[in-house]
Amino acid sequence: MTETTVGIGGAAESTDMVLNIGPQHPSTHGVLRLRLVLDGERIRHAEPVIGYMHRGAEKLFEARDYRQIIMLANRHDWLSAFSNELGVVLGVERMLGMEVPERAVWTRTLLAELNRVLNHLMFLGSYPLELGGITPVFYAFREREELQTVMEEISGGRMHYMFNRVGGLKEDLPAGWLGRARQAVADVRSRMGVFDDLVLGNEIFRGRTRGVGVLTREAVHAYGVSGPIARASGVDFDLRRDEPYLAYGDLQSTLKVVTKEEGDCLARFECLLEQTHNSLDLADACLDRIAELPPGPINQRLPKVLKAPEGTTYAWTENPLGINGYYLVSKGEKTPYRLKLRSASYNNIQALTELLPGTLIADMVAILGSMFFVVGDIDK
């Protein structure tokens, strides 16, 4: 058989059609390109083509000191800025053998869960939008604004918080902030039912997603898929439970790892929604614990020039979209010799080569949207 690449129009009956989705396409969440080989309306082969917004962050890590690299790592998944910072500071603190104040540990855990809710709300609103339902995204942004307000109050940033520091956090929480955060969490929780009614209760949404884009457990392991997408396929793994960091070891009674067995688009959405509910519960538990802590420092005093000792370490965290890993190599200088970033979306999006072949072109957007990725997290 021969292949014919076409733009507008058709091809001869004896040829396959090669269709480019993106790199600037409404359904690709940014500058991702999908190269599809079609047999009529059915996809025969799919190839994600990445690199259109590569920032070279891993190379830039080598030319910035340990304070400055937090800013670079902050941005790859722009919906999870606080969580992105955590892996860097945890890795450097491990290299230094540094003990972080208890107040900083619990506050970091609280802010990580609030950031997780912010991330998930974006996809809970945008995914129905991609399938033709415009209303849920307005509700999602209303809830996001509630939480954005309290996050902005402590850090001054709406998306890129830059609140983590090696040794703790930038500064202590403002007076009265805990009460305002608790109210914001309660307000968001009280209105989360709208996603059950508007989205999961919608027969068109369920018809477009049930049984569509089934990702098997074997494919999850083969491609290194992680996060809610992996758990929707029955892979019961969450670093917060299985290798606790921050204060998650003390939150096991509240933490619930949500898993599904179906592995389809609907299961991925349901997993994301239930995990959002649990993150709100975890945030409440952190607020209770912080309120009980005696006054104390929220960071360690650092030298003007911070140098990590020579050696290597690996830190990994359960980011909202999956597992993030940071492999740090130090030669004893003030800048990393090498900092390799393992981002969740990079591995997750590779599974499209397994998911898309055999499906209809009409289901491509439903499958693509259910992978819950951020292009900056792929091109790092």
Note the pLDDT tens digit of each residue in 191-238: 999 998 999 989 999 999 999 999 999 999 999 999 999 999 999 999
- Res. 376 pLDDT band, cuts 50 70 90: confident
- Res. 3 pLDDT band, cuts 50 70 90: low
Q: Determine contact, residues 55/41, Cβ cutoff 8 Å.
A: no
Nearest alpha-carbon partner for 163 in 102, 115, 98: 115
Does some domain include residue 34?
A: no
Look at residue 6 in the predicted model and tell me its pLDDT: 55
Nearest alpha-carbon partner for 272 in 290, 282, 260, 287: 260
Look at residue 12 in the predicted model and tell me its pLDDT: 47
Burial class for 198, CB neighbours closer than 10 Å (0-12, 13-18, 19+): middle
**Cβ burial 277-312 (10 Å sphere, 16+ → b, else e):** bbbbbbbbbbbebbeeeeeeebbbeeeeeebbeeee
- Mean of the per-residue pLDDT values for the chain? 91
Lowest-pLDDT choice from 15-19, 126-130, 194-198: 15-19
* Mean pLDDT comparison of 34-38, 184-188, 376-380, highest-scoring range: 184-188
117 CB neighbour count, 10 Å cutoff: 28
Nearest alpha-carbon partner for 320 in 139, 104, 80, 87: 80
Lowest-pLDDT choice from 28-42, 228-242, 297-311: 28-42
Does some domain include residue 51?
A: no
More confident residue, 23 or 314: 314
- Res. 32 pLDDT band, cuts 50 70 90: confident
- Res. 22 pLDDT band, cuts 50 70 90: confident
Lowest-pLDDT choice from 6-20, 189-203, 218-232, 322-336: 6-20
User: Average pLDDT of 44-55?
Assistant: 86
Does some domain include residue 28?
A: no
Look at residue 8 in the predicted model and tell me its pLDDT: 52
In whole angstroms, give the CA distance from residue 342 to residue 327. 8
Compute the residue count for the chain.
380
CATH code of the domain containing 237: 1.10.645.10
Does some domain include residue 335?
A: yes
Does some domain include residue 222?
A: yes
Nearest alpha-carbon partner for 47 in 10, 21, 29: 21
Look at residue 11 in the predicted model and tell me its pLDDT: 47
Number of domains in the chain: 1
Bridge partners (DSSP) listed for residue 341:
326
- Res. 52 pLDDT band, cuts 50 70 90: confident
Domain containing residue 229:
65-378
Sheet holding 42-49, edge to edge: 2-5, 15-21, 33-39, 42-49
Does some domain include residue 199?
A: yes
User: Average pLDDT of 127-156?
Assistant: 93
Does some domain include residue 25?
A: no
Q: Whole-model pTM?
A: 0.92
Bridge partners (DSSP) listed for residue 317:
324
Residue 57, pLDDT > 70, answer: yes
Question: How many Cα atoms sit within 13 Å of 182 on the Cβ side?
Answer: 12
- Res. 29 pLDDT band, cuts 50 70 90: low
Question: What token pair was written down for 21?
Answer: 């989705």
pLDDT > 70 in the chain, percent = 94
Question: How many Cα atoms sit within 13 Å of 13 on the Cβ side?
Answer: 0
Residue 107, pLDDT > 90, answer: yes
In whole angstroms, give the CA distance from residue 151 to residue 219. 37
Residue 262, pLDDT > 90, answer: yes
Does some domain include residue 112?
A: yes
